[in-house]
């Protein structure tokens, strides 16, 4: 089982849209896929048709009193399941601080049984630095990081890399990609064309800013479900193909080691 997280500590960059649509593309390829919505805002859960939170609540899930499989829900899309968000996720840092085990072990123990059912787990992370984020940094295979083409995004990306360096985490897990690209804006066009050094290891795939993507919240579906031939759907498909290749490389390195 491979674990892919979509993460940004800056909101409004298309993180949730990328997580939902990449999960839908993976599932469309026949890959048993679970989307775990860890963002308390629950946008991924809403798009995939779920209105409520966890039945047993975050505390029971993270203390092992509720088996994780009990909280997983089917979605209308074949091979794509959802572990929905919960309001209690807002207090996960305090909950993890109460545990005697390290946060990464708590999270790893939760994720491990999922390998019996899924080939891929995609995590929609909360937009923050936290104990939960630190645990995810250690148990996830790859982090896809959406960046809006701007100098501010370059600064955010630099800070994230510095955080990984100081914590002695492998920076090669971080994969930036340009998101909400508006080709009418010169700065966006220039950054798209130049692949500046500030965005090291930038993926080739990029996601355009388009109204068709905004309809996800209205239709409560991934873009491929209602606009499969749109440029946005094609962009998410290319993003999934590139991430799939990177995940395959991770699996090969793990086998060799």
Report pLDDT digits (tens) over 54-69. Answer: 766 788 888 888 889 9
Taking the C-alpha atoms of residue 16 and residue 24, their distance in angstroms, rounded to an integer, is 12
**Among the listed residues 53, 118, 65, 117, the one whose alpha carbon sits nearest the alpha carbon of residue 90:** 53
Task: Look at residue 257 in the predicted model and tell me its pLDDT.
Answer: 64
Between the CA of residue 124 and those of 19, 89, 143, 165, what are the distances in Å? 6, 12, 10, 23
Look up the pTM and report it. Answer: 0.93
Task: Look at residue 234 in the predicted model and tell me its pLDDT.
Answer: 98
Residue ranges for the chain with pLDDT beneath 70: 55-56, 198, 200, 256-257
Strand order in the sheet with 73-74: 73-74, 80-83, 33-37, 120-124, 2-6, 142-147, 174-178
Q: What are the structural domains, with CATH classification, of the chain? A: 2-256 (3.40.50.300)
Residue 80 burial (10 A CB sphere; 0-12, 13-18, 19+): buried
Helices (H) and strands (E) counted in the chain, each on its own, are 12, 7
Residue 49 phi/psi, 5-degree rounding, is 95, 15
């Amino acid at each position: 089982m491979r674990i892919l997280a979509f993460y940004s500590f800056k909101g409004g960059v298309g993180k949730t849209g990328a997580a939902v649509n990449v999960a839908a593309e993976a599932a469309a390829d026949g890959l048993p896929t679970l989307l775990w919505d860890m963002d308390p805002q629950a946008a991924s859960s809403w798009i995939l048709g779920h209105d409520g939170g966890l039945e047993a609540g975050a505390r029971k899930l993270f203390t092992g009193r509720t088996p994780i499989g009990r909280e997983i829900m089917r979605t209308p899309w074949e091979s794509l399941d959802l572990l929905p968000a919960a309001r209690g996720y807002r207090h996960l840092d305090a909950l993890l601080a109460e545990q005697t085990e390290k946060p990464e072990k708590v999270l790893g123990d939760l994720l491990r049984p999922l390998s019996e059912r899924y080939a891929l787990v995609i995590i929609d992370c909360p937009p923050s630095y936290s104990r939960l984020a630190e645990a995810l940094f250690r148990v996830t295979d790859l982090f896809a990081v959406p960046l809006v083409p701007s100098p501010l995004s370059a600064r955010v990306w630099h800070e994230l890399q510095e955080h990984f360096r100081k914590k002695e985490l492998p920076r090669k897990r971080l994969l930036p990609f340009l998101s909400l690209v508006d080709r009418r804006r010169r700065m966006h066009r220039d950054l798209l064309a130049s692949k500046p050094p500030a965005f090291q290891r930038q993926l080739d795939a990029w996601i355009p800013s388009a109204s068709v993507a905004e309809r996800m919240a209205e239709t409560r579906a991934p873009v491929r479900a209602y606009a499969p031939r749109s440029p946005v759907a094609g962009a998410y498909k290319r993003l999934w193909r590139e991430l799939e290749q990177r995940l395959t490389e991770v699996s090969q390195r793990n086998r060799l080691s």
